[in-house]
Structure 1
Amino acid sequence: MNIATITLNPAIDQTVFVDHFQLNTVNRARAMQRDAGGKGVNVASFLADYGLNVTATGLLGAENPHIFERHFATKGITDRFIRVPGATRIGIKIVDEANQQTTDINLPGLPPPPGALDALLNVIDELAADHEWFVLAGKLPPGVPVEFVPDLIKRLHTFNRAIALDVSGPALAAGLTAQPSLVKPNIDELRQITLLDHDGLESASLAARRLNQMGIRLAIVSMGARGAIFSNGTTLLHALPPPVTVRSTVGAGDAMVAGTIAGLVEGLSLTEVAQLATAFSLAALGSIGAHLLPRAELRALAARVMVTVVDPAVTTLTPVDQ
């Protein structure tokens, strides 16, 4: 099966390692690394590491594409990005491993020039001929209206393709109206679009149900260390990860999207999908850059993920038979 990811606003992730990082003072970094990034690029990287056939497309600055080109070649990802004038933005990640904290500084990105979005849509139409899954992830760059998101989802519906949506803010609210196959907002993103009123398992579960009622076949609500809710409209599950050492939180949500799609492609049960997706996310927490553990280690992590059935009416948890 072929999978395509769409990233309109990729970034070069410049990760600076500063133990005991403090504001408003001089900090001494002990190391730095640069990685090809952006949410869709990260999803493609995790899927490729898992051994799936992946194509990455979107808009990429023509002045500095080399780090992406090397990354795609190393991972075995097919590169169908449209090059546009200018340099791809840099996102600064300050990683404090001593306190297991990550601070992100994200720049806005390149506005697409005239004709770039049409060229991108032509590529997506070509990919829709033999790619069964599409992932639209990340913020929109300046100059791209939120209507682009639902319009693209509807366009892919005409090809009868499955679409995963991982965006936020107005783009998420607009995209939900077009009924993508899969969404994975976190609790903060749901609160921004008024689909979640309170913190806690019951509120997250009810939000997932609301997403199902809006026509989303699989809704995932991520809650950080408290795990994630997986709901397909009939079954509602809570996946709780084991404690792990966190090197960086960058890419953990992208890894969960990738793990979910990997599980669906393999025909796993919802419980197994939740375990695999959580294992992908845990693997991302333990690494810098979008790199996955070997399958044997992923399976061992997945086996440690506790999955329970949620009754949103009474918030009672019942263990799932493994």
Structure 2
Amino acid sequence: MKLITVTLNPAVDATVTLDRLERGYVHRAKSIRHDAGGKGVNVASCLADWGLDVAATGLLGRENAGVFEALFRAKRIEDRFVRADGATRTNIKLVDSDATTDINLPGLTATRELLTEAEATLLTLAEPGALVVLAGSLPLGCPPDHYGRLIARLQSRGVRVLLDTSGDALADALAGPALPWAIKPNRDELAEWAGQPLNTVRHIAAQAQRLREQGLGLVAVSMGEQGALFATEHGVLHAQLPATAVASTVGAGDAMVAGIAAALAEQADTERVARLAVAFAVAKLGLAGPNLPSATIVADLAERVSLRPISTPGNQA
């Protein structure tokens, strides 16, 4: 199965490690690192670490493309990004002992010509039976229905789409006549889409299952330390695996998307999808940047994931 990730609004992730972040104070950083980032780039990086062939496309600024090109060369990711004048945005991540604070800067403005070129590149790559991961926010200048239009065109070619976005881009994609095959919101993004608080695992499971019943094949919801939910036609599974070491939470959700994609490439059942998705996310927590440890470590973690069914209205498991 051909695996393709699309990142229209990538970023250079500048991760600054501090002892403690306090508003209004001058801080002395312990360290800083720069990684090629953006959801689809992170997904492609993790898939490559798992040993899969993957192509990455989208829009990339020429001025600072070097950090991305180095990643693609090192991991043998097929680089099909469309280059644009200017620099790719930088996302600043302030990490202390308590949490990660994100400061996302504005990125490139996507012109109609750039979007047309990026779409043509994607359609050239997306052969029937392929899996396309559409991931991240839409850039400035991009209409909110862009993902919805891409999904429709890809579906007409027999391509499955895994969508990981939020806000208006997610709402528009879920309102269109052509739905993605799978989505992976986190619980806050799902609550925003639903327009109501989702305070318990059972509430989240019920909302995920209702959404899936609109025509999606899979709704996966990441819940941080509470693990993740996976809603399919067979019901809802709650998957958990405690993290033993946390180097950085940045990109853990993207690693989960990569785990879902890797399992779908195996044509795996729901249990395998859940195990591999959670294992990818937990394995990534132990490393900085969009990286996974060895396949042996990830496979061992997948075996240790605990699974239990969640009953929802109409699904009394």
- How does the TM-score come out when normalised to structure 2? 0.95
Per-residue CA distance 1:112-160 (angstroms, 9 max, x = gap): 1341111111101110136711000001111101111100000100111
Following the alignment from structure 2 to structure 1, what is the Cα–Cα distance between the partners of residues 315 and 86?
Answer: 51
Following the alignment from structure 2 to structure 1, what is the Cα–Cα distance between the partners of residues 201 and 59?
Answer: 37
Q: 1:156 aligns with which of 148, 154, 157?
A: 154
* Preserved contact between residue 181 and residue 218 of structure 1 (Cα < 8 Å): yes
Alignment partner of 2:127: what SS?
coil
Cα drift, residue 303 of structure 1: 2.0
Which runs of 5 or more structure 1 residues have no equivalent in the other structure? Answer: none
* Preserved contact between residue 18 and residue 94 of structure 2 (Cα < 8 Å): yes
Q: Which residue identity lines up with residue 306 of structure 1 in the other structure?
A: S
Following the alignment from structure 2 to structure 1, what is the Cα–Cα distance between the partners of residues 124 and 216?
Answer: 25
Partner of 1:223: 223
Q: 2:51 aligned with 1:51, yes or no?
A: yes
Q: Which residue identity lines up with residue 89 of structure 2 in the other structure?
A: R
Q: Aligned in 2, Cα 1:233/1:131: closer, same or farther, shift over 3 Å?
A: closer
How many aligned residue pairs are there? Answer: 315
Q: Which residue identity lines up with residue 253 of structure 2 in the other structure?
A: G
Following the alignment from structure 2 to structure 1, what is the Cα–Cα distance between the partners of residues 315 and 245?
Answer: 29
Partner of 2:141: 143
Following the alignment from structure 2 to structure 1, what is the Cα–Cα distance between the partners of residues 47 and 17?
Answer: 26
Partner of 2:17: 17
Partner of 2:185: 185
Alignment of 1:189-268 (within 5 A): 189-194=189-194, 196-268=196-268
Following the alignment from structure 1 to structure 2, what is the Cα–Cα distance between the partners of residues 315 and 26?
Answer: 54
Q: Which residue identity lines up with residue 193 of structure 1 in the other structure?
A: W
* Preserved contact between residue 195 and residue 207 of structure 1 (Cα < 8 Å): no
> Which range moves more in the overlay, 239-248 or 170-179?
239-248
Which runs of 5 or more structure 2 residues have no equivalent in the other structure? Answer: none
Partner of 2:299: 299
Following the alignment from structure 2 to structure 1, what is the Cα–Cα distance between the partners of residues 85 and 71?
Answer: 20
Q: Once superposed, what is the RMSD of the aligned Cα atoms?
A: 1.6
Following the alignment from structure 1 to structure 2, what is the Cα–Cα distance between the partners of residues 267 and 119?
Answer: 31
* Preserved contact between residue 182 and residue 216 of structure 2 (Cα < 8 Å): yes
Cα drift, residue 21 of structure 1: 2.1
Following the alignment from structure 1 to structure 2, what is the Cα–Cα distance between the partners of residues 127 and 84?
Answer: 20
Alignment partner of 1:115: what SS?
helix
> Which range moves more in the overlay, 51-60 or 130-139?
130-139
Partner of 2:94: 94
